[in-house]
Chains A and B, each alone.
Chain A
Amino acid sequence: MDALLDTGAIALLLAATVRLAVPVGFAALGGVIAERSGVYNVGLEGMILLGALGAAAGTLATGSPIAGCVVGVALGVAGGLLLGLLSITFHVNQLVAGIAINLLSAGLTAFLARGLIASLFGSSSVAGFSQVRLPGLAELPVIGSALFTQDPLAYALMVLTVLVAFVVYRTHAGLRLRAAGENPRAADSAGVNVTQVRFTALAMSGAFAALGGCHLVLSQIYMFSEGMSAGKGFIALAAVILGRWHPVGAVAAALFFGLCEALQLRLQFSNPNVPYQIFLILPYAASLLVLVWFFGRSRQPAAAGQVYERESR
């Protein structure tokens, strides 16, 4: 345990925490927006994959990681709109529609990666973002190197989290979003176009999840690999609940999961005789405990999961 206590090790631990948390954090932000509008986005996992594939293909085609992000986000938006089409327009159960999108994305991205990326571009490794030290802030002890020596997408997550929180709680657009998720009938009678709000929210939700995939490809691995979302979309769904449907809370929950994972990889070293499975369940055990702790004190948006039909009573 001694290795964990000196400041250098803590800085490394925090930096690992942030790296592991960024993709989950983006997806969790997407999850908050979707659920605030009244639609569960179980398809986050698939949208991360779509974003990752788009980032790789876009960057390979143009040579620019920014263009890669744009393509990735566009695919994520498409995924979000597809979820809207299924669940809002065709009244498919939201959970079923989300799972369908996950299955579709897993198969589609694997097929496209094997077929297109390999044959069109020849190479699979892409140029990505490099770390940017923020002058001044990066010099802070311990947290400086952890938080302010990151890649541009990690900074983007910090800014977007604050921005989303502001929009959701302090603007008319945010009020319409929350109204659509709490009481769509009342919102409708007040002149809010619930269908439009939900479609917009799902498009944004897909875009955020896709940014998580972009981070995996452009800031961490510099290539696309099949199934690289590896359950992060589902962890993000847990982060949404743990963060009590608040953007800052959800991203904080993602950081908490990241911390557990980073800690887990280190604890295996200092305690080689303890079965490693104990450490692997650490993030999940911790989140279960926290959920029990918060039980009754958090409430999901009242209309989440329900189909809204204007004509029915």
Chain B
Amino acid sequence: MQVVGETLGIETGYSEKVHQPDHVESLSDYARRGFTHVIGHGGEFQDAVERVAARFPDTRFIVTNGLRARDNITTADFYFSQPAYLLGFLAGRFTKTGKVGLVQAQQFKFTNDTLAGFEAGFKSARPDGTVFSTWTGDWEDVAKGKEAALTQIGQGADIVWPTMDSATQGALQAVRENGAKAFGLYYDAISKWPDIILQSSILDVKALIVSLLTTAKAEGLVGKNYKFDLTQPDSVRLGSYHPDIAPDIVGEIESLKARITSGDLVIEPA
């Protein structure tokens, strides 16, 4: 938030690790203190924001990954299925066994869209292949994340994409021990796991917020959902390619990306 404040020349404040029962109080507090824009970061803020927004009609509330926008509630999310489609296509071209896997924690919009986009991309490159999907029910359990990836590898998967939080590290460890390959999420993961990461889907929350608040400062936000997709590469983009990926595959991915950004190819969310 400090970076955002300095970039845009606005005053900011923040609280972290606010638990769900305290959402209403925390959001109201910022509104009372006169902040014109209050952000609840994460879809779990939706209900609290709806309650608070009714009491502070002159404050604009923003929910990232929110579900329902109206009057003074703006929501913003990433077009998850677009980069997932590209990674799925890459997986389909790169896999030798024809089997790849997604290890995710829980089913909700983000993970469903990711799975749908990934499967669509994979099938277009490898119609006869299989996408395994495992739900671990846990974002932090590294041991379970590792075991889930090991299970997929044991079933023949040679590329695994874990999308959990800390548990992702366990899954990547399993991939590394078994000579398989993986995809990264949120950041260019090849910097940390250079031997196994083929490519990453980079979703930059900081850039999303800067972009949103820049719009807010320039023309004001309205009560709708702002979707960030591959046409805004500051927020949504692919990372670096692993050197093992053949140049013609890189070319195919880049041309697919161009078709998506031009609107020629539409990836349907789940």
Contacts and interface: CB of A to CB of B under 8 A. Distances in A.
A287 B18 CA distance: 33
Nearest to A15: B150
Interface stretch (A160-168, A187-195, A224-232): A224-232
B126 interface: no
Interface stretch (A57-65, A74-82, A263-271): A263-271
A16 B150 CA distance: 9
Contacts of B137: 276-277, 280
B134 A268 contact: yes
The A interface is mostly helix, strand or loop, or mixed, namely helix
B140 A228 contact: yes
Contacts of A232: 143
A133 B89 CA distance: 40
Nearest to A258: B147
A227 B173 CA distance: 17
Contacts of B141: 228, 230-231
Q: Which of A19, A221, A232 has the most CB of B within 10 A?
A: A221
B166 interface: yes
A16 B154 CA distance: 11
Contact of B135 (A12, A261, A276): A276
Contacts of B146: 220-221
B129 to A, nearest CB: 15
B84 to A, nearest CB: 18
Interface residues of B, number: 25
Contacts of B47: none
A225 B140 CA distance: 8
Interface centre among A19, A227, A265, A268 (most CB of B within 10 A): A265
Interface in B142-163: 142-144, 146-148, 150-151, 154-155
Given A225-B169, A266-B151, A20 B142 contact: no
Given A225-B169, A265-B134, A12 B143 contact: no
Contacts of B138: 230-231
B132 interface: yes
Nearest to B154: A12
Nearest to A280: B137
B148 A228 contact: no
B152 to A, nearest CB: 8
Contacts of A228: 140-143, 166
Interface string A238-271: 0000000000000000000000011001101100
Given A220-B146, A221-B146, A227-B140, A269 B166 contact: no
Nearest to B155: A269
Contacts of B144: 20, 230, 261, 265
B151 A16 contact: yes
Contacts of B148: 265
A284 to B, nearest CB: 11
Contacts of A261: 144, 147
A153 B134 CA distance: 28
Interface in B119-142: 132-138, 140-142
A266 B136 CA distance: 11
A269 B132 contact: yes
A269 B147 CA distance: 14
Contact of A220 (B107, B136, B173): B173
A16 B155 CA distance: 14
B160 to A, nearest CB: 13
A277 B135 CA distance: 8
Nearest to B134: A268
A16 B107 CA distance: 24
A20 B140 contact: no
B170 interface: yes
Given A266-B151, A269-B132, A272-B133, A221 B143 contact: yes
A221 B154 contact: no
Contacts of A27: none
A262 B166 contact: no
9 contacts: A3-B155, A16-B147, A16-B151, A216-B143, A228-B142, A228-B166, A232-B143, A261-B144, A269-B151
Given A220-B142, A220-B173, 9 more contacts: A16-B147, A16-B151, A23-B143, A221-B173, A228-B141, A265-B147, A266-B151, A268-B134, A268-B135
Which 5 pairs, one residue from A and one from B, show the smallest C-beta to C-beta distance? A230-B141, A276-B135, A280-B137, A225-B166, A227-B140
